[in-house]
A and B are shown apart, each in its own frame.
Chain A
Amino acid sequence: MNIERDGDYITLSMGPHHPATHGVLRLEVTTDGEVISACKPDIGYLHRSIEKIGECLEWYQFVPYTDRVDYVCSMNSNHAWVLAVESLLATSPETKLQIPERAEYIRILFAELNRISSHMVGLGSITMDMGAFTPFLHALSQREYINDVFEKTCGARLTYNYMCVGGVNRDLHAGAEAEIREFLTGLEKAMKDFNRLISTNNIFKGRLAGVAAVSPEDAVSYGLVGANLRGSGVDFDLRRDRPYGIYDRFEFDVPLGRCYAGSKGKLGDCYDRFVVRLLEVLESIRICRQVLDQMPPTSGKEDDPVGGWCVAKAAQKSLRKPPVGEVYFRTENPRGETGYHIVSDGTKIPYRVRIRTGSFTALSIFEKLTPGLMIADLVALIGSFDIVLPEVDR
């Protein structure tokens, strides 16, 4: 930590190597005693120029890079990219792809499972930031089950490279449906335990209640998305309001923040964001069950329009000469809206790839939100926003 003194004010450099900043984030904090008077985020330590790399690779070759945009929810990042490319291809009848039904269901299933596992990391790490270590292990143990399922199907535990333009790389492994159902039943019980352990704990609640409340207007203006936006009570979820894929076939609720901490809390405080994430896990369980009920059985043939999982040949053909033009496609990721703005010049390499992520825009509100907070509350704020740094820097 570097400390500079200027009269009564101290300038403190928090990070880039700090356990509570969830990665390599540096915050330039000016404090008066323990109260923050200004805070400027300094990012770019993990800048891997993924947008520039996107301009050098063919459309399908970019999928593994989307894994690295947000490695806590690689499936969702894959999903966003392949949907964006498919929506570009769909604008011309010659290149439009007919994705097999089963592939659509597998995508939603894995996206929701990855949302659960990502939220478990988010929920676990905020409890650890607040000084409780045990709930973190409980949350992470659930994530391991999901990683096991993913590993059996696609061979990887963190960066999956599973979804591809035209479907998914391979079919679910034998017995996956039963395994996932069993896991979901276990997860429900584990969530109850987690709530008894920490969510309803008065010390934890008091630590987050009323801290760093974001008004609905600010949340919208500063581009908060996903659970952070809904924590402020703004009723917007891309899965419901601008459905993509086959999300319009499922029934689920959109949990909103409404001052869950009671009289000490405020709408849009850290505890609201925490609870919204908790409730979203339960909604994802609901979606997963509906997917498993509706999913057509495998036909054993890759490009079967119902029971297949990938139309690889058609996709390869379309990707050689995609339509000229641009799309902005957004999906609801665990950390909120992830948008891909793609400009195509009609060749097999994208002309411009722009990635808009939830964590990046969440950092833009720090300058406005932090004056008046205590330093210890800044840690609660970072944890409640569930920031993942590779997604910020890209």
Chain B
Amino acid sequence: MSPVPSRNQSRGKAQEFEAIFAKVLVRFPTAKTGSSPNGARWITVQPSEMLEVARFLKAAPEFSFDSLCCLTGVDLLKYPAADKEQEPCTDIVCVYDLHSMAHNHELRVKSSMPRENPAIPSVESVWGVASFFEREAFDLLGVSFLGHHDLRRLLMPQDWIGYPLRKDYVYPETYGGVELKREGQTFDSGPYK
């Protein structure tokens, strides 16, 4: 086991987004870049290739993305399309925010799945922390992580029905025989929407 290089030892060179993408594209020709109007940029990969991409990004010495900072699931059902004439996207997206301790650079990888049956290979064999992140995304957004060793609900009760962070989620009126709805209260998504 080699220790993680400390700051005093030579720290590798941080890579620019374009350089990283160019190398990913050679290995995975279906990868695409994406960007948001506010200038955030990311790499989009096919869900079926996610595990391979993760292994590649961690193992390649010039990247060595050894830590998964955050795994976010986003439901795009009500997200406005960039182009008005386009069909609105209803996918569920997994966003992986990666960081490299050795090079001190970051990368965002996204993978979008159809909302009927969102499934993506688990990356817990690459980053151990993914086991909890994936259970949370499964719990709140209903994404199946294939090959996860223990894919159960994490925060909600095991017998809960539905995925609360989906944009079309309908609040239950009772749970376990307990009335959840109070008089005069509506269960639309929030007071302002």
Contact = CB atoms under 8 A, between A and B. Distances in A.
Partners in one complex: yes
Interface of A: 40, 43-44, 47, 49, 51-52, 55-58, 88, 91-92, 215-218, 220-223, 233-236, 241-242, 254, 256, 323-328, 330, 337, 339, 341, 343-346, 348-349, 351-352, 354, 356, 360-361, 363-365, 367-368, 393-394
A227 to B, nearest CB: 16
Interface in B123-144: 127-129, 131-133, 140
Contacts of B69: 223, 328, 330, 337, 339, 356
Contact of B127 (A216, A221, A242): A221
A9 to B, nearest CB: 18
Given A220-B4, A220-B101, A91 B39 contact: yes
A359 B75 CA distance: 25
Given A216-B3, A223-B68, A345-B79, A47 B38 contact: no
A43 B132 CA distance: 11
Nearest to B135: A364
Given A235-B4, A352-B74, 4 more contacts: A233-B4, A323-B38, A352-B72, A352-B165
Contacts of A44: 153-157
Top 8 nearest A-B pairs (CB, nearest first) are A56-B190, A325-B38, A223-B129, A325-B36, A91-B38, A364-B132, A235-B6, A44-B155
A357 to B, nearest CB: 10
Contact of A349 (B79, B127, B150, B193): B193
A339 B70 contact: yes
Interface in B86-126: 95, 97, 101, 104, 108
A221 B74 contact: no
B176 interface: no
Given A56-B189, A235-B6, A92 B79 contact: no
A363 B135 CA distance: 13
B1 interface: yes
B64 to A, nearest CB: 10
B36 A223 contact: no
A40 B132 CA distance: 11
